[in-house]
Chains A and B, each alone.
Chain A
Amino acid sequence: MMAASNEVNLNESKMVVPLNTWVLISNFKLAYNLLRRPDGTFNRHLAEFLDRKVPANTKPVLGVFSFDVIIDRSTSLLSRIYRPADGEQPQLNIADLEKPVTAEVVPVIIFFHGGSFAHSSANSAIYDTLCRRLVSICKVVVVSVNYRRAPENRYPCAYDDGWAALNWVNSSSWLQSKDSKVHIYLAGDSSGGNIVHHVALRAVESDIEVLGNILLNPMFGGQERTESEKRLDGKYFVTIQDRDWYWRAFLPEGEDRDHPACNPFGPKGNFLEGIKFPKSLVVVASLDLIQDRQLAYVKGLEKAGQKVKLLYLEQATIGFYLLPNNNHFYTVMDEISNFVGSDC
Chain B
Amino acid sequence: MSLYSSGTSAASSAGSSVSSTTKPSEIDGLLAGAGYRVRSSDLRHVAQRLERLDAAMVNSPAEVSQLASDAVHYNPSDIASWVDSLLSELNQTASLPSDLPELPELMVGPGLNQTVLAEDAWTDHDAPQHQQLNNQFPVMTAMEEDSGIRLVHVLLTCAESVQRGDLAFAGSLIEDMQSLLTRVNTSCGIGKVAGYFIDALSRRIFTPQGVGFGGGVGLDPAYENEVLYHHFYEACPYLKFAHFTANQAILEAFDGHDCVHVVDFNLMHGLQWPALIQALALRPGGPPLLRLTGIGPPSPDGRDSLREVGLRLSELARSVNVRFAFRGVAASRLEDVKPWMLQVNPKEAVAVNSIMQLHRLLGSEPSRNSPIEMVLGWIRNLNPKIMTVIEQEANHNQPGFLDRFTDALYYYSTMFDSLEACTLQPEKALAEIYIQREICNVVCCEGSARVERHEPLAKWRGRLGQAGFRPLHLGSNAFKQASMLLTLFSAEGYCVEEKEGCLTLGWHSRPLIAASAWEAPLALPDANSPAAAPGIFVNPHSNPPINSL
Is B132's CB within 8 Å of the partner chain A?
yes
* A contact residues around B35 at 8 Å (CB): 52-54, 124-126
Q: How far is the CB of B181 from chain A (nearest CB, A)?
A: 16
Task: Identify A48's interface contact among B7, B57, B79, B483, CB under 8 A.
Answer: B483
Is B43's CB within 8 Å of the partner chain A?
yes
Task: Identify B137's interface contact among A4, A20, A26, A68, CB under 8 A.
Answer: A68
Q: How far is the CB of A115 from chain B (nearest CB, A)?
A: 14
Q: Check if B54 sits within 8 Å of A10, measured CB to CB.
A: yes
> Which of A225-233, A324-332, A336-344 lies at the interface?
A324-332
Is A56's CB within 8 Å of the partner chain B?
yes
Is B2's CB within 8 Å of the partner chain A?
yes
Is A58's CB within 8 Å of the partner chain B?
yes
Q: Check if A26 sits within 8 Å of B43, measured CB to CB.
A: no
Q: Check if B57 sits within 8 Å of A30, measured CB to CB.
A: yes
Q: Scan residues 39-54 of chain B and give those whose CB is less than 8 A from a CB of chain A.
A: 43-44, 46-47, 50-51, 53-54
Considering only CB atoms, which chain A residue lies closest to B483 in the complex? A45
Q: Check if B17 sits within 8 Å of A33, measured CB to CB.
A: no
CB contact under 8 A between A327 and B79, given known A48-B483, A49-B498: no
Is B81's CB within 8 Å of the partner chain A?
no
* B contact residues around A334 at 8 Å (CB): none
* A contact residues around B69 at 8 Å (CB): 43
Considering only CB atoms, which chain B residue lies closest to A66 in the complex? B137
CB contact under 8 A between A33 and B64, given known A23-B46, A78-B139: yes
Bound CA–CA A56/B498 (angstroms): 16
Q: How far is the CB of B136 from chain A (nearest CB, A)?
A: 6
Is A270's CB within 8 Å of the partner chain B?
no
Q: Check if B14 sits within 8 Å of A55, measured CB to CB.
A: no
Bound CA–CA A50/B79 (angstroms): 11
CB contact under 8 A between A34 and B67, given known A55-B136, A58-B137, A93-B406: yes
Q: Check if B149 sits within 8 Å of A98, measured CB to CB.
A: yes
Task: Identify A46's interface contact among B68, B97, B134, B492, CB under 8 A.
Answer: B68
* B contact residues around A223 at 8 Å (CB): none
Is A102's CB within 8 Å of the partner chain B?
no
Q: Check if A323 sits within 8 Å of B3, measured CB to CB.
A: no
Is A15's CB within 8 Å of the partner chain B?
yes
Q: Check if B13 sits within 8 Å of A14, measured CB to CB.
A: yes
CB contact under 8 A between A70 and B54, given known A16-B6, A59-B134: no
* B contact residues around A56 at 8 Å (CB): 136-137, 509
Considering only CB atoms, which chain B residue lies closest to A314 in the complex? B6
Is B156's CB within 8 Å of the partner chain A?
yes
Is A35's CB within 8 Å of the partner chain B?
yes
Q: How far is the CB of A329 from chain B (nearest CB, A)?
A: 8
Is A40's CB within 8 Å of the partner chain B?
no
Is B348's CB within 8 Å of the partner chain A?
no
Considering only CB atoms, which chain B residue lies closest to A3 in the complex? B97
Bound CA–CA A173/B83 (angstroms): 48
Considering only CB atoms, which chain A residue lies closest to B476 in the complex? A49
Q: Check if B73 sits within 8 Å of A325, measured CB to CB.
A: no
* B contact residues around A323 at 8 Å (CB): 30-31, 33-34
Q: Check if B34 sits within 8 Å of A327, measured CB to CB.
A: no
Bound CA–CA A48/B505 (angstroms): 13
Q: How far is the CB of A27 from chain B (nearest CB, A)?
A: 6
* A contact residues around B141 at 8 Å (CB): 69-70, 73
* B contact residues around A67 at 8 Å (CB): 137, 140
CB contact under 8 A between A55 and B476, given known A23-B79, A33-B57, A327-B3: no
Considering only CB atoms, which chain A residue lies closest to B59 in the complex? A3
Task: Identify A325's interface contact among B4, B10, B47, B479, CB under 8 A.
Answer: B4
Q: Scan residues 439-486 of chain B and give those whose CB is less than 8 A from a CB of chain A.
A: 476, 479-480, 483-484
On B, residues with C-beta under 8 Å from A are: 1-4, 6-10, 13-14, 16-17, 28, 30-31, 33-36, 38, 43-44, 46-47, 50-51, 53-55, 57-59, 64-65, 67-69, 73, 76-77, 79, 83, 86, 97, 99-100, 128, 131-137, 139-142, 144, 149-150, 152-153, 156, 190, 406, 476, 479-480, 483-484, 492-493, 495-498, 508-511
Which 10 residue pairs of A and B lie closest in terms of their CB atoms, listed nearest first? A52-B35, A326-B4, A125-B35, A45-B480, A34-B68, A58-B135, A315-B6, A59-B135, A49-B479, A14-B10
18 contacts between A and B (CB under 8 A): A3-B55, A10-B51, A11-B10, A14-B10, A19-B17, A19-B47, A23-B31, A27-B83, A43-B68, A45-B480, A49-B480, A52-B77, A53-B497, A69-B139, A71-B142, A93-B156, A95-B152, A125-B35
Known pairs A19-B10, A53-B35, A59-B135. 19 more at Cβ < 8 A? A15-B8, A19-B14, A19-B47, A20-B30, A23-B47, A23-B79, A27-B50, A43-B68, A55-B136, A57-B131, A71-B142, A80-B509, A94-B152, A94-B153, A95-B153, A323-B31, A323-B34, A325-B4, A327-B3
